Copies of this chain bind each other. A is one copy, B any other.
Amino acid sequence: MLIGRICRLGAAGRSCFTLSYFSSSAVIMAKSKFEYVRSFETDDTCLKNCYIVVRLDGRNFHRFAEQHQFKKPNDDRALGLMSRSARSVMEELEDIIISYGQSDEFSFVFKRSSNWFKRRASKLMTHVASQFSSSYVFYWKEFFGEQPLLYPPSFDGRVVLYPTNRNLRDYLSWRQADCHINNLYNTVFWTLVQKGGLTTTQAEDRLKGTLASDKNEILFSEFNINYNNEPVLHRKGTALIWEKREETVSKRMKLPNEEEKEVPVTRSRRRVEAFHCDIIGEQFWEEHPDVLEDDAC
């Protein structure tokens, strides 16, 4: 525990409690003298009617993954913890309509009409970063069990605005294409190392300059692996959206002229659902037409 020094006496025994020379009233009057510093804050309101995207990226997660023995090329516990933390963000902050994550990054999309935090960029991104990070540590045990977390990890964030549905979908497509490219590379790389017996340097050399088709071919012809059969979680990442679910719960009720009894009651509840599928094409969006608002608004 951090123990602060309460007082430091100078050579002449001066106390540093200058403030106690003044009466409390003096301090309170002084406060108004200092309050002008508030006017140095600048307004960073996000442009209205644009989607607000907050993207988080892990800081030094290469080292973090090493030190916590993450499995290569994908550690399902780590991916699960990322998604769990993202769900915690969605449940705590209003107006996030979709989030998408892969590897050590997660993007959160606020609806274009959102007025959460008066659309102040700094508040939105720090709140997302904070909730995600505290959740990551809080839920660690659910995914890593007795393996201890060695130190508190951190994420940095940014805000980007997208004016149209097309722009927003292209942003999400960009992240999913990135997931695909990295995962294909990592899958071949670690297969060459783990099953092919290459050193990491040899694997790197082997892949230098190869096209996607070459990588698929290496997997298939040398290791009998069809990349398209690899887990979708790894190939497509995770999209979280809100979905309405009908739930049937049992409730004790007393109907007129009857004994009190258990009655099945159906209610609709909104909850965060995870999808591991293509979000570049039309189908996902056609199946979930409520996610995006209309440009024409």
Contacts and interface: CB of A to CB of B under 8 A. Distances in A.
Contact of A19 (B131, B212, B275, B278): B278
Contacts of A1: 80, 84, 142-143
A40 B48 contact: yes
A89 to B, nearest CB: 9
A69 interface: no
Nearest to A179: B27
A87 B153 CA distance: 14
A27 B83 CA distance: 24
B277 A16 contact: yes
Contact of A167 (B49, B132, B138, B278): B49
Nearest to A278: B19
B160 A41 contact: yes
Given A6-B233, A152-B134, A163-B164, A282 B18 contact: yes
A119 to B, nearest CB: 10
A170 interface: yes
Interface in A97-141: 117, 121-123, 125-139
* Interface size class, chain A: 35 or more
B184 A35 contact: no
B37 A47 contact: no
Contact of A88 (B152, B213, B276): B152
Given A47-B163, A129-B130, A138-B149, 16 more contacts: A1-B142, A1-B143, A5-B273, A5-B276, A18-B281, A27-B280, A28-B180, A37-B160, A40-B167, A42-B161, A43-B45, A122-B156, A123-B157, A127-B155, A130-B155, A164-B164
28 contacts: A1-B142, A1-B143, A2-B87, A4-B233, A7-B232, A16-B278, A17-B277, A18-B281, A18-B282, A24-B213, A34-B177, A37-B167, A38-B174, A40-B161, A40-B167, A42-B43, A42-B160, A43-B43, A47-B163, A123-B157, A125-B125, A126-B158, A127-B154, A130-B132, A131-B133, A138-B149, A163-B163, A295-B295
Interface of A: 1-8, 10, 14, 16-20, 23-25, 27-28, 30-31, 33-45, 47-50, 56, 59, 80, 83-84, 87-88, 92, 117, 121-123, 125-139, 142-143, 149, 151-167, 170-171, 173-174, 176-178, 180-181, 184, 211-213, 215-216, 227-228, 232-233, 236, 238, 272-278, 280-284, 287, 295-297
